[in-house]
Structure 1
Amino acid sequence: MGRLLLAPMEGLADYLLRDVLTQVGGYDGAVTEFVRASGSLLPHRTYRRISPEIDNGGRTSGGTPVVVQLLGSDPAALAENAARLCELSPPGVDLNFGCPAKTVNSHGGGAMLLADPECLYRIAGAVRRAVPRHIPFTAKMRLGVEDTSLALDCARALEAGGAEGLVVHARTKRDGYRPPAHWEWIARIRDVVKLPVVANGEVWSEDDWRRCRSVSGADDVMLGRGAVSDPFLARRIAAGAEVPADRDAEWSELLHLIGDFWERVQLKVEARHAPGRLKQWINMLRRNFPAAELLYQDLRAQPECRAVDHVLRRHGVPLLQAAA
């Protein structure tokens, strides 16, 4: 049935949420948020901060291997930092040519590089030479900046530069995250390259997954926001199951995951930022779980951790810390 991968989602899925989601099961791999590599040689602690899994054999607590993603526009800097990263023996090294964020694109990184296939080739070639052959080297791209006119050239350039696999988010930078995803373009890219291609974009359900594979021709699919809004999606796909008519059992399981996430968020970030991180996830869960709507409405006006604790307990979320 092909592989299921968890997408890198800057500002949304850090290692805490990545660990919670992969605990549920169904994933064959995951990719970190990007590490920006520009003019300086980054220390090992930078990679460990983005991917603590490095110290667990490169795997989440649930056993899912995690590839570390690099972002930048300078071939030499990316190659040098890729070599430094490889000293930690990650399960793989990935390059980001898909981020549409203005803060990234204004510095010539992410999806903006898709305007220059020759630059992609130089970057991929430099990183390929720096990454030992036993460590997989892949890239993620969109279909272009403003349009798809260079999509095939970009894919060819990454393959010629030495990428061993390619994830294609089937939208342009200009599209952002607006539907639809143009899965038919993934099929066109697969026709011009020989390396494995993973389909990505707008997969929110089992039916989306089936249609994405049919239209794109790709066996492997990367799940992004669909996985965050439905933490059981990958597990159901892997098991060949459908959405249950009654999702109470899933919600009951999800309450434990929410509790685990909340406890760990408070250990990672300042107290003033922790409630926002939780609300961000609960807000996305509203798409699939009616009970999440009620929980979100009770949480949305709570700015302090103690008040959040009380709300979570009222909704049946188990917390390890002592009741206040």
Structure 2
Amino acid sequence: MPKIAISVGDVNGIGLEIALRTHHQIIRFCEPLYCAHREVLESASALLDFPLPQDMQCVADFEYPRGGLIEPNCVSAKSGKYSYESFMQGVNLTQSKQCAALVTLPIHKKAWQKAGISFVGHTHALSSICGVDSIMMLGCPSLFIALFTDHIALSQVSACVTQERVKDFLLRFAQGVNLNEPCCVLGLNPHCGDEGIMGSEDKQINAAVSEVNMQLGKKIFFGAYPPDSAFSPFNREKFRYFVSMYHDVGLAPLKALYFEQSINVSLNLPILRTSVDHGVAYDKAYKKGSNISTQSYLNAVQYAANNVLR
């Protein structure tokens, strides 16, 4: 079975509960190495009144903070620093081939900022560490969304949509998932700009789609499609993969349809990294009867294990 590094995310959120409750399931298809101190798992176990599985392998090689760590429902520099160090150990284990893949539990971006970490999140950090532009793809076997832009302000998106940049993205995406089926590329403006009446960005997208298909020698990408109708049942019968120019346009329909099933996959990296497709859920952390879904995490670990074994 492949060894998979698990970074535990923000310990004040739901990540540790998810790890504890699913350990007995994921050891059926991988060997998880938890980038955390056993004392942290013991504290979470006590707070949750959930028994700590004795076979959980804790491999933290960074300093355990003095004075305890877990403060439920609290955005803190201490938890931000710990989640970053857990993540970095997971990256190192995967880069050094000690683990075959990295699975990340949710962080809190403000906590990272409080800890003095300059990265916006996991994907931004991985792009910088690996020296490449990572592609964020989210979804499940029924629907995958690749994001042309991800964690940037809406006001900055338009300037990014050029023929050359879209072309480069589509080529990297096709290679990253070994794309051999049709993919729908969304436009940016309402009605894809109505032939320039509402912006010229969609003409750039259309030109990039044509150029990429020519370069690939086959028609893989289709578009630009108007985003308001792209996810109709009819289109979802034709397409399983979509490319969205902007974060919320692509992820709103995905989360409406497959919120508990979808995962986050980082493409175009020298390592395999998957993640849950949800946040820290402070409002549910360490509360009895909160009914936390673990399906996204299970799917993320399964995806990592399946792709390693291929």
TM-score computed with the length of structure 2 as normaliser: 0.30
Compare the two structures and name the one with the higher helix fraction: 1
TM-score by structure 1 length?
Answer: 0.29
